[in-house]
Chains A and B, each alone.
Chain A
Amino acid sequence: MGETEGQDEKYTDAAAKYGASLDRLAQAYEADAEKRRDLTQDIHFQLWRSFANFDGRCSLRTWVYRVAHHVAVSHVMRERRTFSKLVSLEELESLPEHTATLPSSDSQLDLQQLAALIRQLKPLDRQVIVSYLEDMDAPAIAEITGLSPGSVAMRIHRIKNLLAKRYRAGAAYAR
């Protein structure tokens, strides 16, 4: 694999800007801490590799998130030999709420529940929800996922509904 000029600098820049987001992204794809560390390293390695082909046709952020999601999706496909246990946002809305209800009195528990909820989702919905939680708007998410902005907006609406429902259920449970 040949290294192009500037590949190292581009990677260093991207890692400094998006390193924390990439760690959070790995959390959305892998529950096991050891495997998550491997996944994060893999994401960084593939990201560095990808900069040999980066020509600025899309923004640095879009590029970084695309590559990171690609690596994570490959990881999920390797780890889970079947997709039948992953659900779409629509299906998740109809699942019982006791599996993950926000908020609890413990913020670490809230995070674990939120991450567990995300890890139940199919890859594309997972990409949308992670991008939404990272504060991206619909056009930016559409560029990363390849879905239409309308479809992304509809999914974000569902995500908000779902999280609000879980939040209400958690608040009621806490009382």
Chain B
Amino acid sequence: MPADLPNDNPKTIWQKQPTDSSHMTLDSIRKRSRELRRKTRREMFGSIFVALFGVAPLSGFGIVHTHSIGLRLLFGCALLWAFAGQFALHRKLWSASAPGDAGLHSGLEFYRQELQRRQHFFRRVMPWSVGPLLLSVAGFVLQLLDLAEAFNRPRNSVIPFCVLFVVWLIAILVIRSRSRRDLERELAELADAQHL
């Protein structure tokens, strides 16, 4: 078996590969440190903007155009829930440990922690991110029904919108549950590997 590898060929191929000799200087490292902080901030604000992109316009439109106090309250709750959700989802990002802080951890420990962090994040996404969106869409549908009634249009004219939304929601749920299963399988494999 190993004798079939003349002169440990794969090791030779691997170790003789050309490498980039231009390593980072200490100045460029400090510059990268500043860039990294800026990038993290940009990414966080970007993801908050995207997450609020669905809820804020719907709720804003609803609050401005409805005369019903109940609906206004509902849209207000959805907005508050969405902002609180973004805070809850991203709070830990600021304090998340960087790979460079985990030199005492073995590869197995670090990988497990990363998987658990991601699992934890997935668990919170549904109530904190999809939840407010569901509430604002429900309010929007109620408002459309009101409008249909006010303009003597059939109530079932909102059905295409509802169908599209349900299809989108089912797709999200399927993707999320697949990712969750992947994570669980990966964690179970790591637990097995540790006990070998």
B5 touches A160 (CB 8 A): yes
CA distance in complex: A71, B98 (Å): 8
Flag whether A29 is at the interface (Cβ < 8 A).
Answer: no
Chain A residues with CB under 8 Å of B20's CB are 23, 37, 40
CA distance in complex: A82, B15 (Å): 30
A74 touches B114 (CB 8 A): yes
Flag whether A119 is at the interface (Cβ < 8 A).
Answer: no
Flag whether B36 is at the interface (Cβ < 8 A).
Answer: yes
Find B104's partner among A57, A71, A111 (CB 8 Å cutoff).
A57
Q: Which of A35-73 contact B (CB under 8 A)?
A: 37, 40-42, 44-50, 53-54, 57-58, 63, 66-67, 69-71, 73
Query: Smallest Cβ distance from A161 to chain B, in angstroms?
Result: 6
CA distance in complex: A24, B186 (Å): 26
CA distance in complex: A88, B32 (Å): 34
CA distance in complex: A37, B66 (Å): 54
Per-position 1/0 for A65-94, Cβ under 8 A of B: 011011101100100011110001000000
Chain A residues with CB under 8 Å of B23's CB are 15, 19, 44
Chain B residues with CB under 8 Å of A24's CB are 14-15, 17, 19
> How many residues on the B side are at the interface (Cβ–Cβ under 8 A)?
49
Find B10's partner among A77, A102, A148 (CB 8 Å cutoff).
A102
A163 touches B107 (CB 8 A): no
Chain A residues with CB under 8 Å of B10's CB are 102, 114, 133, 163, 167
Q: Which of B34-91 contact A (CB under 8 A)?
A: 36
On whether A53 and B114 interact (CB within 8 A), knowing A8-B26, A71-B99, A114-B13, the answer reads no
Known: A12-B26, A41-B24. 13 other contacts (CB 8 A): A19-B23, A24-B14, A45-B32, A45-B36, A46-B100, A49-B100, A57-B104, A73-B114, A82-B178, A102-B9, A123-B107, A160-B2, A164-B4
Q: 19 interchain pairs (CB within 8 A)?
A: A15-B23, A20-B21, A48-B100, A50-B100, A67-B99, A67-B103, A70-B99, A71-B100, A81-B179, A82-B178, A83-B182, A84-B178, A111-B17, A133-B14, A147-B108, A151-B196, A160-B2, A161-B1, A167-B9
B residues adjacent to A (C-beta < 8 A):
1-2, 4-5, 9-11, 13-17, 19-21, 23-24, 26, 29, 32-33, 36, 98-111, 114, 118, 178-179, 182-183, 185-186, 189-190, 193-194, 196
A residues adjacent to B (C-beta < 8 A):
1, 8, 11-12, 15, 19-20, 23-24, 27, 37, 40-42, 44-50, 53-54, 57-58, 63, 66-67, 69-71, 73-74, 77, 81-84, 88, 102-103, 107, 110-111, 114, 122-124, 127, 132-135, 143-148, 150-151, 154, 160-161, 163-164, 167-168
